[in-house]
Amino acid sequence: MAYMHLVYLHLFTVVPCIFIGAFLLFSTKGTPIHKSLGKIYMALMVFTAILALFMPAFVGPTLFSHFGLLHLLSVVVLFSVASALAAIRRGDISSHRKHMIGLYIGGILIAGSFTLMPGRTIHTWIFGG
């Protein structure tokens, strides 16, 4: 798949997570809507993280001429989703909450802020070449 197709698909999956995640963080927990949106959010985050692993790094140092430091956040996202899911299945709400807050902060806010760095595609689209 061409690089730009991956970028568009990545954005298509991550942008809803910005809003779904924020809603989940500030809404009542444990309700049917929370559970349903939570499943959608986690699935989108996993898909987004996997997509990101296929996108080559063009900024900063790389490993195997492909993986950059930002790819580490994809691994963190995958770990966080798995840990949050395991925690809620065993009834550990406190651990689930911590993983989900960390997922939003790391996977959405921090990773999203890195897209605004010069040399990145989103930076170019927003601020020009």
pLDDT tens, position by position, 3-49:
788 888 989 999 999 999 999 999 999 999 999 999 999 999 999 99
Does pLDDT of 129 surpass 70?
no
Instruction: Compare 128 and 61 and report the one with higher pLDDT.
Output: 128
pTM, full prediction:
0.87
Instruction: Give residue-wise pLDDT tens across range 66-87.
Output: 788 788 889 999 999 999 999 9
Query: Is residue 77 within 8 Å of 48, Cβ to Cβ?
Result: yes
Mean pLDDT over each residue of the chain, to the nearest integer? 90
Dmax over CA atoms of the chain, in Å, equals 49
